[in-house]
Amino acid sequence: METAGGRKRFRGTGLSGESPVKLSDVAALAGVSAATASRALNTPGKVSDAMRDKVRAAAATLGYVPDAAARALASRRSRTIGAVVPTLDNPIFAAGVQGLETRLEALGYALVVASSDYRAEKELRQTTTLVERGVEGLMFVGIAHRPSLYRLLETRGIPYVSTWSFDPSDPHPGIGFDNFEAASRMTDYLLGLGHRRFAMIAGITRDNDRAAARLAGVRHVLAARGIVLESRNVIETPYGVTEGRDAFHTLLGGRPDGRPTAVICGNDLQAFGALFEAAAMGLDVPGALSITGFDDSVMSGHIPPGLTTMHVPTAEMGQLAADYLVNCIEGRPVRAKTRVEVRLVVRGSSGPAPR
């Protein structure tokens, strides 16, 4: 009663009457069967040209809009893809989603987005509702997911792909880069500049394999050179400018001796914060210390002195994810693992270690 009542009222909300133009109406106007009308609209090659035109004309006069639900039910195809990202508030994910959407729309698919808030458990919940919604493919960020998430998708045969992370040892399809290796490269670069005292402002590593891999990569390379990244020189904090700023202050404050000469940040936002705080503290960058970011977001080339960072092809990953999923769905061959290139972009925020 309640639901029905609500619906009735909603139905009444429409200014004009509803538009219950259905395929059979189009067929009737065109003087053909519903089957033919369907074919004329969806697989024009299967009907005569005259037929096609006649049906199209009828559809146009009636303002026919197909009902996706009915179509999905009958054809078992929703032509919808889902994406679960941590948050659209991080421009980097927004850009990835934009890349995905653009490509999907060109391929005739719609995009349903859901956010996980960096929580594996919420990711699983969101995924379940997307599956209920009938998405034919799913894009995730990162490779650390609940096992039951994979199980859900695999038992139902729904294609999926991880992005942002590339790990050859991970058995699941993925499009991304090796965060560990990228962080290693950044560290190598800084070592090459003579830095020996390091600090890191990392993202929250829990439920975030990218943040964890970046931290691990830094640690690994330093350890190989006999340098220990002390825990007081590592701060995990959410990705954000203010957070980066605060972390930098904690790291550098009240420590005139043995200060790090290189601060590696988990992403650009944190690095911007570090940069601003360094300026506020009167620390010369890169003279007194170097600061690096990760993502190469739009501001990093502009903010003085220019942020040294790792360029990540976000839109490209979204686009490749779209291609991967649609190819899976449409039965074309796919490569399960695709590695995209990240590029070290050296700008003014990094330089030789002091002394």
Which positions touch DNA (CB under 7 A)? Answer: 3-4, 7, 20, 22-24, 31-36, 38-39, 41-42, 46-48, 50-51, 64, 66-67, 70-71, 73-77
**Measured between alpha carbons, how far is 127 from 114 in angstroms, rounded to an integer?**
8
For position 215 contacting its own copies by CB under 8 A, the verdict is no
As measured in angstroms, the least distance from the Cβ of 45 to DNA is: 7
DSSP 208: -
Rounded to 10 deg, the angle between the 49-62 and 34-42 helix axes is: 100
Name which of 89 and 341 has its Cβ closer to its own copies. Answer: 89
Contacting residue, 14, 168, 226, 282, with its own copies by CB under 8 A: 14
For position 282 contacting its own copies by CB under 8 A, the verdict is no
221 binds, among DNA, its own copies, none (CB under 5 to 8 A by kind): none
**Measured between alpha carbons, how far is 122 from 34 in angstroms, rounded to an integer?**
43
- Phi, psi of 186, rounded to the nearest 5 degrees: -60, -45
As measured in angstroms, the least distance from the Cβ of 159 to DNA is: 18
Scan for tokens 């927004």, then name that residue: 94
As measured in angstroms, the least distance from the Cβ of 295 to its own copies is: 13
For position 355 contacting its own copies by CB under 8 A, the verdict is no
For position 173 contacting its own copies by CB under 8 A, the verdict is no
Site residues for its own copies, 254-273, by CB under 8 A, read 269, 272-273
15 binds, among DNA, its own copies, none (CB under 5 to 8 A by kind): its own copies
Site residues for its own copies, 185-214, by CB under 8 A, read none
287 binds, among DNA, its own copies, none (CB under 5 to 8 A by kind): none
Please compute, for residue 143, the number of CA atoms within 13 A of its CA located in the half-sphere on the CB side: 21
Cis status, amide bond into 286, omega within 30 of 0:
yes
Structure tokens at 245: 């700023």
DSSP string, 120-165: HHHHHHHHHHHHHTT-SEEEEESS---HHHHHHHHHTT--EEEES-
Residue whose C-alpha is closest to residue 127's, from 111, 116, 142: 116
Name which of 64 and 93 has its Cβ closer to DNA. Answer: 64
Site residues for its own copies, 38-97, by CB under 8 A, read 43, 63, 65-70, 72-73, 76-78, 80, 87-89, 91, 94-95, 97
